[in-house]
Structure 1
């Protein structure tokens, strides 16, 4: 099975200007070393804060790194994570992806790895999910609502549910940040490779042990050009009314 992709064309949808932003929001890994003004960085975080948060709890925090000395200390950690990724999951092109296109992507990943110390801004979204308030009456009511099978399934998938609950409170804000970066002419891409060495990253950045990190987003002025993304055709991914 091949993975056919099409070049995004927002004009075909006749949508608002935001559609143009989304349709040209490539993962940009080649960054100029030029500094990004503090007020521009704050605009990115403001966009992230505008994102929805489960229960409107807003338990997110954002570590923003611009100090070159700190970035230089993070560079070896980044290299180890990227090398581990390229040796495993990233070793081969996804099924159906053009080898030449995948080679260009890997080259960009390696470029970012080798020049990470020159990254102008690194943003690390964090979240501390509050402990749930549970009581016997509430648990009994939940069990009645779900039924025996549903309750058993919920117990078996609690770890996954918790991870998705936390992610749903963070990643909408991260997407807002990426959209804002594109709108401001900045290059950015979301990564989670740092999670392979999360303890070391948290120690280096002074992040509390009970605070979870969800991404590492390098940001800077693009060394390349924005352009239409290539994605699977919409008709191939829609299942109407049922699978």
Structure 2
């Protein structure tokens, strides 16, 4: 535990962050619309590249729509559990992993009862760079780095858009925890993204970045279990 004695910090915020488990077992009880709007408002407070604010949020609360999404969710979860999720990560206690899988399966089997589902979307506009701008950029980077940048442009753009979305998603998760709501971030829907977009009327050229179920928790929050800071920090260089 890090000593925060004398630090100007909000202990409530740190308590929220340290007890914000991925809560997959949620009640079917509805979430008041005012709270849903507060979650999205918190998400919009996240940083946005160039302050473009190109984010959009699809919020599903209609039970008929949720029921139509449930089969898609099941297919994605089953695909995950058959591949990446088939075995516990190296070093993770198998019993703990079994409990997590059980929670994933519970959420899968009760997805139609999910009170709220939030789909964050984002897309950069077409670039507005002149030929002179490209030449100046190439001169600043140098020929080798310019070629490397061109070769990794797809990854760069994906990370650039993600950096405009995921801080807002974290805000939403923190806000949910602060309001006593359970939530967890998933990207499994990307395995069937086109089907999800069709089901929700999301434009083909719009990218989706997560599917976040939200509701009142059945269990208790935190504490989270994470590696200690001493194991993850590299001071001044790797």
**Shorter-chain TM-score range:** over 0.9
Name 1:168's counterpart in structure 2: 163
1:87-236 matched pairs, under 5 angstroms: 87-236=82-231
SS at match of 2:192: helix
SS at match of 1:231: coil
Structure 1: runs of 5+ lacking an equivalent: 1-8
Give deviations 1:180-227, integer Å, cap 9, x for gaps. Answer: 000000000000000000000000000001111000000000000002
C-alpha displacement at 1:171, in angstroms? 0.5
Instruction: Let me know the Cα RMSD of the aligned residues.
Output: 0.9
Runs of 4 or more above 3 Å deviation: 12-15
SS at match of 1:144: helix
C-alpha displacement at 1:59, in angstroms? 0.4
Structure 2: runs of 5+ lacking an equivalent: none
Name 1:13's counterpart in structure 2: 4
TM-score, normalised on structure 1? Answer: 0.95
Q: How many residues align?
A: 234
Name 1:44's counterpart in structure 2: 39
Name 1:5's counterpart in structure 2: none
TM-score, normalised on structure 2? Answer: 0.97
SS at match of 1:93: coil
C-alpha displacement at 1:95, in angstroms? 0.3
Query: Are residue 79 (structure 1) and residue 70 (structure 2) matched?
Result: no
C-alpha displacement at 1:13, in angstroms? 3.3
Name 1:55's counterpart in structure 2: 50
C-alpha displacement at 1:141, in angstroms? 0.2
1:58-69 matched pairs, under 5 angstroms: 58-69=53-64
